[in-house]
Structure 1
Amino acid sequence: MESTRLDRWLWSVRLTKTRADAAAACRGGHVRVNDKPAKPATPVRVGDTVRARVHDTTRIVEVARVIEKRVGAPEAVRCYIDNTPVVTPETTIPVARRDRGAGRPTKRDRRLLDQLKMFGGP
């Protein structure tokens, strides 16, 4: 077997939970093969680079082996080479979040948010 459908391969190597999720990601424009937008039926071959946005994370993988059936996790990891850049905690920006239903921020909350955004910190 030298090629298979993209949605089937994404599901087989466990990058997506279901094949329907893989197809939806392809239709939504979240998957690219060799830097070209990909449809669910796009053929995937050994050596192709797949860039997929999965769970708010962009995964960049190179196809090492083509499979059509879902296999165990240890076997699935051997079917691709993960080239996703490592995100260090220093590069992530903290996001200010408030609990739903907490109401408007108080003056103290606003000052803390300003410090967090580095606009008017002491």
Structure 2
Amino acid sequence: MNHKISTEPGAKLRIDKWLWAARFFKTRSLAANAVEKGHARIGGASVKPAKEVRVGDRVEIEIERVVWQVEVLGVCDVRGPASVAQTLYAETEESRAKRQAELERRKTYREPAATLHGRPTKRDRRTIDKFSREG
């Protein structure tokens, strides 16, 4: 299968299409939606889904509250295998370190309500009421 990737300076593609081809999102509509909500920035500026990204641009993408900072190395308007998608960008060292730290923090962080199941018991309710009155 022939994946035409352009790495020429000035090669450009819509940001939503690029995010989909680079496999940051499963569908173009998910990519467009994320861009609409401001989860993708080019050079630090929020953009619309139709904004074109160029080879050499710095793009920030926020996915599930994790931020990726990548440099655009190539554009490809078809979605190829992951091995091809990974050649379209290079993640910055700073971004990689921050992402790893965030993933580690998530592994060790326990949601306060994770151990609770169902409704509070009578005993739980008394404790809650006691704290509520004190506040």
Q: TM-score per shorter chain, which class?
A: 0.7 to 0.9
2:89 aligned with 1:80, yes or no?
Answer: yes
* Equivalent in the alignment of 1:96: 112
* Equivalent in the alignment of 2:60: 51
1:1-122 superposed matches below 5 A: 2-83=11-92, 84-86=95-97, 87-88=100-101, 89=104, 93-98=109-114, 102-104=118-120
TM-superposed CA distance for 1:94, in Å, is 3.5
Letter in 1 for 2:118: A
Q: Distance in 2 between matches of 1:75 and 1:11?
A: 12
TM-superposed CA distance for 1:101, in Å, is 5.2
What is the aligned length?
108
**TM-score, reference length from structure 1:** 0.76
RMSD of the TM alignment (CA)?
2.4
**TM-score, reference length from structure 2:** 0.69
Q: Deviations over 1:28-77 (max 9, x none)?
A: 11110000001101111111011111133211111001111111100110
Letter in 1 for 2:37: G
Rg comparison, structure with higher value = 2
Which structure is higher in helix share? Answer: 2
* Equivalent in the alignment of 1:119: none
* Equivalent in the alignment of 1:115: none
Q: Which runs of 5+ in 1 are unaligned?
A: 111-122
Q: Distance in 2 between matches of 1:77 and 1:71?
A: 10
Q: Deviations over 1:4-49 (max 9, x none)?
A: 1000000001011100001001111111000000110111111101
Identical amino acids, percent of aligned pairs: 31
